[in-house]
Amino acid sequence: MMHLGLIGYPLGHSLSPTIHTAALKACGLEGDYSLFPVEPDDIPGLEKLLSRLRTGELRGLNVTIPHKQNVIQFLDELTPRAGTIGAVNTIYFREGRLTGDNTDAPGFLSDLYRFLARNQPDIPGQKSALVLGAGGSARAVVYALVSDGWSVTVAGRRIDQAEELVAQFKNARAIELNRASIQSCIFRLVVNTTPVGMVPDIDRSPLPEGLCLSPDIFIYDLVYNPRETKLVRNASSRGCRAETGIGMLIEQAALAFEIWTGRHPPRDILIQSVDY
């Protein structure tokens, strides 16, 4: 019996159990996927939960807000990708070592290009992106974009956090997340990595009020619950092509599942599991 799960807080609206249950069934594996809500300041609780991987009680764990960086202190090693990003979303125990990886970056990039290809954008030569937020998810997104040749501007409410993030990446700079700073930037893609707009806080957008967006801008919102966030709804009404992060959720989940089990769950079945 394979026991998998997700660490984060809050977790009440997570779709990860649905996706991974479908993956287990599709691959003919016996197991379950549980939610492990750990409050932001409960570091002892975090350490205790990770110890269950070392004993074999758990096979693998995903990590989401707010613990993508908190877990690192309890791990034996990071994969090169996770080490560069500085954030972990997938943990496993192998050969006596507790290892942290990050499947957010490849999962995001894979789904981003599916979204862009579907809309047939004229991106070459104009690969400039504005990333909203400077937390663990932002680190994965910036890593993915910069590695793929994009020029990235990170907009953070805390400018020091944004500057710390971009310091380790070429072709990345930091600004404050306000209307004046964003309005002065040139970009073709906006990626929201903040939780603003997520259930239950669905009437907020991470973009400042009164910001004018050109209709040739693409919007990718990592928030997937609700299926149409205020950011996506507002952008679409202005003629922008916009997408929520359900596709990224599926891609990063499938990649984590492959790390834990060595099996490759069919993406179409995972999509059907969330009725996407």
- What ranges do the domains of the chain cover? 2-102+248-273, 105-244
- CA–CA separation, 157 and 174 (whole Å): 11
Cβ atoms of 89 and 256 closer than 8 Å:
yes
Encoded amino acid at 155, one letter: A
Residues 6+ apart with CB under 8 A from 31: 1, 2, 3, 4, 24, 59
Residue 170: which pLDDT band, with cuts at 50, 70 and 90? confident
CATH T-level fold of 105-244 = Rossmann fold (3.40.50)
70-116, pLDDT tens digit by residue? 999 999 999 999 999 999 999 999 999 999 999 999 999 999 999 99
Q: Where are the beta strands (DSSP E) in 84-235?
A: 90-94, 97-101, 128-132, 151-156, 172-176, 189-192, 218-221
2-57, pLDDT tens digit by residue? 999 999 999 988 899 999 999 999 999 999 999 999 999 999 999 999 999 999 99
Domain 2-102+248-273: CATH class, spelled out: alpha beta
Provide the annotated active-site residues.
68
